[in-house]
A and B are shown apart, each in its own frame.
Chain A
Amino acid sequence: MTDLTRLTISQAREKLRAGEISAVELTDAYLAAIDAANDKFNAYVAVTHDKARDMARASDARLAAGQGGALEGIPLGVKDLFATEGVHTQACSHVLDGFRPRYESTVTSNLWADGAVMLGKLNMDEFAMGSSNETSWYGPVKNPWRATGSNADRVPGGSSGGSAAAVAAFLCAGATATDTGGSIRQPAAFTGTVGIKPSYGRCSRWGIIAYASSLDQAGPIARDVRDAAILLKSMASVDEKDTTSVDRPVPDYEAALGQSVKGLKVGIPKEYRVEGMPQEVEALWQQGIAWLKEAGAEIVDISLPHTGYALPTYYIISPAEASSNLARYDGVRYGLRVPGKDIVEMYESTRAAGFGDEVKRRIMIGTYVLSAGYYDAYYLKAQKVRTLIKKDFDDAFAAGVDVILTPATPSAAFGIADKEMASDPVKMYLNDIFTVTVNMAGLPGISVPAGLDGQGLPLGLQLIGRPFDEETLFRTAHVIEQAAGTFQPQKWW
């Protein structure tokens, strides 16, 4: 029999509905692949064998009764940031040791209600703070992609590194992820997968461990554009448990695929041509422009003048929100407790032992910029710049631009334990230079694989849309995918 883990979600869906394969067979194929290869990738931090088989059996019963949901029997991986009832949920932090929530996040509830099967929890940067998956308490994840002729391990990107690696290595059919500054789109670009961060408010944040609440959004990582559309349709909802969840119906994203981009106005922002960007990234961008032009789109040069300020703004706003959100980890209600002679020493020792260096840095920066005397100079200033960043996009869309095309990342995946990245936190932060603007403005952004660099590593393009116009992103990304093809790593594992 052919390897069932190679089926896309849309292919598996057809075979399950036609009764050609069962959900149990498909789930067992993934569990066997995980058991054989997870030691090599470190993508899963918990595998839920029994739960997966129970869910698959229930899916088979529903399929047999003709009551299958939109994702009936599809095995998925879940980023460790999503609360899953009774199952390992730690944001890959030591401070949440042993935490097993008594509730389920809205996004995962939606997926299970549509019949999806949970395979386990996926590795990530601690509290989603990182761009390489190296800040995880559980250790780094390996990218299934390697440079041609090399055995050196590369990072899968982050923070959703486990999600991207598991999808690329065929250890799940698709995965949930989250994106605060690029954590869906950058790992997708590094692994040759498709990742979409929807508009702020499209997916409920309820039950997702909070990092920076005004920026956090959930979205899928998938093997192709169609699978991403199928997953987002299920994940998105209106939720009264999240006051920022937006009250508008979820469209059928899959229906946007195959529609023409003739006459679509595609903006090319000149500020995304940054110093030191490899020529290959520039060439890929030009290729993307050519593909869309051939498909009938109209290409227009635009300017988003505050682009360069998005990353420094992000490194004020996100640590500020994080310092507040992470105040709850104090050794009292859940997770780790390190005893102390009094309550303050207990708090301080617990947090010192429980948080990793990057998380501590961001809490410290956040505490500093919010402290008396500095609030106006840092936080208030950043929120004003954020208004200007959003206005740049508003102006471009008001001038008739339908979608914006940029590179997804300034480079391909770099090596694990890269010395330059480790020496200066700002070097690592620059990975998000093209993605972070989108979070600042609350817009939807999709990363779609578009080619390989000279070393045989995948590179992605990013499309940015109007608020709640994910359909145009799927339509345009599909055109790029049709032209570029899909990319799979050489199996070495």
Chain B
Amino acid sequence: MSVDLDTVKRVARLARIAVSEEEATVMAGKLNSILGFVEQLNEVDVSGVEPMTSVIPMEMKKRADKVTDGSKADDIVANAPATEENFFLVPKVVE
């Protein structure tokens, strides 16, 4: 399978990365090189093989459903580019 320019632009939109026409063209070439490389997996017969979900067999760890952390709003917003009173500020979303 290979990707065309429209597919590159669609995937870039899904990934929320702005791309120019020129960037998309360069990207299409490199992505097709990678997709061509992974194509060889078609040779492998995987009928009856379970997909891997955990590389080390272990039971999911669980803990009591209790609050163990919190009251650190200042820490959480400390690195944000724009905040106001412990809220993250973003461009207007709802008109």
Contact = CB atoms under 8 A, between A and B. Distances in A.
Interface of A: 98-103, 199-201, 214, 240, 243-244, 246-247, 306, 308-309, 311-313, 315-316, 323, 327, 330-337, 339-349, 351-352, 355, 360-361, 363-365, 367-368, 371, 374, 377-378, 380-388, 390, 424-426, 429, 440-442, 467
A312 B37 contact: yes
A243 B61 contact: yes
B75 A102 contact: yes
Contacts of A365: 31, 34-35
A200 B14 CA distance: 31
Nearest to B28: A364
A124 B65 CA distance: 38
A-B pairs with lowest CB-CB distance, top 5: A442-B55, A383-B51, A337-B81, A334-B79, A348-B18
B24 to A, nearest CB: 10
A240 B63 contact: yes
B19 interface: yes
Interface residues of B, number: 53
B14 A371 contact: yes
A370 B49 CA distance: 20
Contacts of B38: 312-313, 315-316, 378, 382
Contacts of A380: 51
A385 B41 contact: yes
B18 A371 contact: no
A346 B91 contact: yes
B13 to A, nearest CB: 8
A308 B44 CA distance: 11
Given A201-B58, A368-B31, A384 B51 contact: yes
B20 to A, nearest CB: 9
Interface string B50-71: 1111111010110100000000
B89 to A, nearest CB: 9
Nearest to B49: A384
Given A342-B91, A387-B50, A388-B44, A244 B14 contact: no
A382 B33 CA distance: 18
A212 to B, nearest CB: 12
A62 B59 CA distance: 40
Contact of B49 (A340, A387, A441): A387
A351 B41 contact: no
A368 B81 contact: no
A334 B80 contact: yes
Contacts of B60: 243
B82 interface: yes
Contacts of A383: 51-53
A387 B52 contact: yes
Contacts of B44: 306, 309, 381, 384-385, 388
Nearest to A365: B34
B16 A351 contact: yes
A349 B39 CA distance: 32
A331 B43 CA distance: 42
A346 B90 contact: yes
Contacts, number: 170
A467 B37 contact: no
Given A346-B90, A385-B44, A424-B33, A363 B56 contact: no
Interface of B: 1, 3, 7-8, 11-19, 27, 30-31, 33-35, 37-41, 43-44, 46, 49-56, 58, 60-61, 63, 72, 75-82, 88, 90-93
Given A200-B56, A240-B63, A390-B52, A315 B37 contact: yes
A364 B41 contact: no
A346 B18 CA distance: 10
B46 A371 contact: no
A381 B79 CA distance: 39
A428 to B, nearest CB: 11
A425 B33 contact: yes
A330 B46 contact: no
A364 B17 contact: yes
Given A103-B75, A344-B16, A385-B46, 14 more contacts: A309-B43, A309-B44, A311-B37, A313-B41, A315-B37, A345-B18, A363-B17, A382-B38, A386-B51, A387-B49, A387-B50, A424-B33, A425-B33, A426-B34
A309 B91 contact: no
Given A335-B79, A352-B18, A426-B34, A200 B92 contact: no
B32 to A, nearest CB: 11
Contacts of B72: 102
Contacts of A334: 79-81
Given A316-B38, A381-B46, A385-B41, A100 B79 contact: yes
A116 to B, nearest CB: 25
B90 to A, nearest CB: 5
A359 to B, nearest CB: 10
A99 B79 contact: yes
Contact of A384 (B50, B78, B91): B50
B5 to A, nearest CB: 13
A131 to B, nearest CB: 14
B56 to A, nearest CB: 5
A83 to B, nearest CB: 11
B35 to A, nearest CB: 8
B92 A342 contact: yes
Nearest to B51: A383
A378 B14 CA distance: 18
